[in-house]
Amino acid sequence: MKRVVFGVAAIAAVSAFAMLDDDAALNAAREVLAKMTLEEKTQMLAGSGTMTLPAVPRVGINSEWTMSDNSSTVRPSLDRWNWSYPEPKTENTKLPSLSALAQTWDVAWARRHGEVLGAECRDRGVDQLLGPGVNIMRTPLCGRNWEYLGEDPALAAKMCVSMIKGVQSYDVAATVKHFCLNDQEMCRGTVDTHADDRTLNEIYLPAFRAAVKDAGVLCVMSSYNRIDGIWASENKYTQSGILRDRWGYKGLLVTDWGGQHTTEFAVMNGGGIEMHRGDRIQYLCQPSSNRFPLAEAVLRGDVPAATVDNMALHTLYVMAKTGFLTGAPRRTGARNTPEHQRVARDEGAESIVLMKNGKGVLPLDANAIGKVLVIGSGADLKQCHKGCSGEGNVPYEVTLYAALTNRLKEAEVKLMPFCAKLEHAATDTSNATEAGGHVELKDADKWCTEAELKAAAEAADVVIVFTGTELGYQENMESEGRDRVEFDLPAPLQKAMHTILDWKLPRVVVVSRSGSPVGYTWTDKADTLVQTSYLGMEEGNSIVDVLLGDVNPSGKLAQTWPKTYSDTAVAQCGTYNKTNVVYNERFYVGYRWHDKKAIAPLFPFGHGLSYTTFEYGAAELCDDGLSVKIAVKNTGRVAGKEVVQLYAAYPGTKVERCVKELKAFSKVALKPGETKVVELRITPRDLAYWDEFNHRFRTDAGEYELLVGASSADIRASTRAVLAKTEFFAD
């Protein structure tokens, strides 16, 4: 296939599979741009189909640029003009969700996660991956919390940077989304969101900023919502003022599918590529009718030609960076390999959080188990094909029940539903189908009588109760396009959990799966509780690896679990709604809110136990006088990993600050009896707040308390640092 080649030999001599540097990519893009007609330039600003940008053979772009969802797999190929999957559907590895990845608190796992996705994109011929999502968990009801990286901007920022670098190491463009203030799915396409500048900059922008400035992300996707009355896809303040001007972003900006609303206004206010279900692309270039509305606007004098040139240059620049435009060698990919499947399994196990192990039931001894009862039909219900943009198609999927059956070959493993009759209400799925979701609906769950279940439970050596949410579009299911209806699980299911736990059986393990905190009323009765998010195709194996002790759990919560929905900031401040959402809790999100209001959570942010124990030494300042080092010792009998977390507090501050805020973390592996010194590196910029008068970040001179702990509520050591001067930062 013929390509326009710009010094490929010289490029290859430097690095066989390295992206072009910025100058070389811009030069290559400008050369192609100079050859294009106005219509060809506008073609580069709108899809040629649902997941493609057009080929322009006349200038050497002989194939279409191909995109694909999502953040945990490469979605099956879509029809050019709609959301259907042509048969046979393409297959790819399904990794754990981003909510699970966040619970690893491990940037190395984020890198591996990105590399697997990058490799599978390359093998499929996909040039742009539509992930990662980095919106902050403002409300536990948001239907897409499972696709995001938790409630804390520092955690989300560090994890997304590593993932993006992993994806782009395979010459695939990553896409950070959804920019910005898209923190609920309810009425996402019409809701108007409002956040003051300090809240925006301290909570909702840091992960996007890190993606641009630290990871060099090549693509950004705008969100559906309005921001202060203006669509995010047309918002000059966010798209031009913040993204382009302040952060110096050079890559392409793409609307979420169907997020374009105008031609001239969008283009003149920093807009980007228009995408939609292919036959509904209409504002910039209409591929189904071969019309060019944007070119017509230029010819009328409504849009400067230079504006279109600049927009097209961003697209061509990204194509050049990845080697797509220039013919530079691109890294070879692979998919559905044993190595990728092992990553899915091991990453999933690494993410699992041991919430409670009060009687030391875990880990289970496989050799001492004759009968296992698994309660909950969800333990054998596959999830990989659900979730709208998160949908995948996998060569196989291992459920918890299947994994237990495979591992405990000498035992009798029985699956029974809950003693709870659950009916599902009629559900409006129009938002889901419009967003490209493929809907499965339930009328009712299977159920059994209390007597049947109790008899089976009493006959078992171990009872594993599987509860939580599932992916889908009904009531408390989680998915793109809608929020959960209630924080609590259905009352009949809660009652069944109380009933089962009141039997006081000696060995009961509760496994809770969800991508977001769930309202449980029975946790004080559960001695053993394991929390997992959606873990992809190896979910069952990942969970069983932890339950049987092959893997020592080391996951930590990336979200505060409130006791009740009324304890959350959005509930108390009352601005989670369908029309006009004011972020009037400000920067008090998650654990920051609980700290401020002295509300004890059910489980705190950063919480997670182990099959071993860890002892923290004294916190000391490093040579820079600000970073912290601390000795951590494994005081148990088995090897384990601990996530050491550094929070900052602000004694004597004259400016309103949170009680404490996460600033750094590090995951350390320790053998029994082993001690390691962990360094937690921070800079004065990490201690900054947004100065609303000077419109920039500011770190004041003075004293800072640096808190080291195992969670936001379990501080083990502290020290103090003094900064001699006040500093301002450009962004």
Residue 131: band (very low, low, confident or very high) from pLDDT cuts 50, 70, 90: very high
pLDDT at 534: 98
Is the Cβ–Cβ distance between 619 and 647 less than 8 Å?
no
Task: Report residue 667: phi and psi, to 5°.
Answer: -100, 125
Q: What is the mean pLDDT of the chain?
A: 95
Q: Helix %, strand %, coil % for the chain, to 5?
A: 30, 20, 50
Given a cut of 60, whether residue 621 has pLDDT beyond it is yes
CATH no., domain 614-729? 2.60.40.10
User: Do β-strands 696-699 and 689-691 pair in parallel, antiparallel, or remain unpaired?
Assistant: antiparallel
pLDDT at 287: 95
Model pTM score? 0.96
Is the Cβ–Cβ distance between 254 and 239 less than 8 Å?
no
343-347 average pLDDT score: 98
- Name the least confident of 372-381, 439-448, 684-693: 439-448
How far apart CA 334 and CA 339 sit, in angstroms, is: 10
By percentage, how much of the chain surpasses pLDDT 70? 98
Given a cut of 70, whether residue 7 has pLDDT beyond it is no
The answer to whether residue 196 is catalytic is no
Q: What is the dihedral of CA 694, 699, 701, 706, to 10 degrees?
A: 160
Residue 442: band (very low, low, confident or very high) from pLDDT cuts 50, 70, 90: confident
Q: Which of 256, 346, 527, 595 is catalytic?
A: 256
Q: pLDDT of 548-583, one tens digit each?
A: 999 999 999 999 999 999 999 999 998 899 999 999
pLDDT at 19: 79
How far apart CA 202 and CA 688 sit, in angstroms, is: 9
pLDDT at 15: 40
Residue 18: band (very low, low, confident or very high) from pLDDT cuts 50, 70, 90: low
Chosen CATH of 349-559 out of 1.10.10.410, 3.40.50.11540, 3.30.2130.10, 3.40.50.1700: 3.40.50.1700
Q: Domain extents for the chain?
A: 8-82+91-321, 349-559, 614-729
594-603 average pLDDT score: 98
Task: Report residue 374: phi and psi, to 5°.
Answer: -105, 120
Residue 719: band (very low, low, confident or very high) from pLDDT cuts 50, 70, 90: very high
Given a cut of 80, whether residue 182 has pLDDT beyond it is yes
Given a cut of 90, whether residue 30 has pLDDT beyond it is yes
Residue with tokens 């209630």: 486
Q: pLDDT of 82-107, one tens digit each?
A: 999 999 999 999 999 999 999 999 99
Given a cut of 90, whether residue 445 has pLDDT beyond it is no
Tell whether omega for the bond before 553 is within 30 degrees of 0, i.e. cis.
Answer: no
Residue 10: band (very low, low, confident or very high) from pLDDT cuts 50, 70, 90: very low
pLDDT at 16: 44
Given a cut of 70, whether residue 11 has pLDDT beyond it is no
Q: pLDDT of 643-694, one tens digit each?
A: 999 999 999 899 999 999 999 999 999 999 999 999 999 999 999 999 999 9
Q: pLDDT of 471-508, one tens digit each?
A: 999 888 999 999 999 999 999 999 999 999 999 999 99
Q: What is the dihedral of CA 72, 77, 83, 87, to 10 degrees?
A: -120
Q: What topology does CATH give the domain 8-82+91-321?
A: TIM Barrel (3.20.20)
How far apart CA 40 and CA 443 sit, in angstroms, is: 50
